[in-house]
Amino acid sequence: MEGETFLWLIRHAPVDGVAGTIHAPDAPADLGDRAQLQALRQRLPRDSASYASPSRRTVETARALGLEPDLVGNFSEQDFGDWTGRRHDELAASGGEAYAQFWGDPAHARPPGGESFEDQVARVRHGLSRIGAGPATLVVHSGTIRAALCIALDLAPQSALRFVIDPLSLTRIDRLATGWRVVSVNQRVV
C-alpha cells in the first residue's frame, strides 16, 4: 500500500446489557456519556475515512461521533461461537473443561463453534491492509484494537491480550513507509 496511513481506533461505548456477558453483535451501545463522546469527536481528524465493525454497538457509537462508517466484517470482535450470549460466571460454573482449557491459552484456543484470538489477528491484518493512505477512524472492539496492536508491535498474540482497552478510549497507530508507529494506547479524552 502506497502512502502513510494514520489510524484513530476507538473502542465502542459500553454495551447496554448485563455485565459479564459475551455479547452478541446486535447488543446496543450505552451512549449516555455525552461528555466523552463530545471530547472524542473533537479529537478525530476531519475528512477522514471511517470504518466500523458491523456490530450494532460500534455502528451506534460511530454515528454518535458524527461518522457514517463503511462496515468491515474483518473488524468484528472475536467470535465466541456457542458461548455468545452467555455470562462468564455461568460458563465457569457449568462450561466444563472446555471453558477452563480456553482460558489456559486464550490466544490460540477456540471456543466451541468460535475462533481464537490468533484467528482474529489474521482477520484484522487483512482488514487493515485494505485501508488506503491518509487518516482513518475505526470504531471497533477491544479485541480488534488488541489485534491491531499485535500487528503494529509484531507481538505474539498472547502478549497483545495484556492491553487494557476501555470503552470510548482512543488508540492511535500509524502505518508508515518504514513500518508501524504506536502513538498512544487506551487514552480517555475528557
Pair 104, 85: CB distance under 8 Å: no
Q: What pLDDT does residue 189 have?
A: 84
pLDDT band at 38 (very low <50, low <70, confident <90, very high): very high
Name the percent of the chain lying above pLDDT 90.
93
Tell me the pLDDT of the chain averaged across its residues: 96
Q: What pLDDT does residue 96 have?
A: 75
Mean pLDDT of all residues in 59-81: 98
- Give the residue from 178, 186, 115, 97 showing the smallest Cα distance to 149: 186
Q: pLDDT for 8-27, tens place per residue?
A: 999 999 999 999 999 999 99
Mean pLDDT of all residues in 83-104: 90
- Residue 2 reports pLDDT greater than 80: no
The correct CATH number of 5-188 out of 3.40.50.720, 3.40.50.1240, 3.10.129.10, 3.30.70.2740 is 3.40.50.1240
Instruction: Give the C-alpha distances (Å, rounded to integers) separating 153 from 48, 99, 101, 187.
Output: 24, 29, 27, 18
**In the chain, what are the domain boundaries?**
5-188
Q: What pLDDT does residue 1 have?
A: 54
Mean pLDDT of all residues in 58-68: 98
Q: What pLDDT does residue 129 have?
A: 96
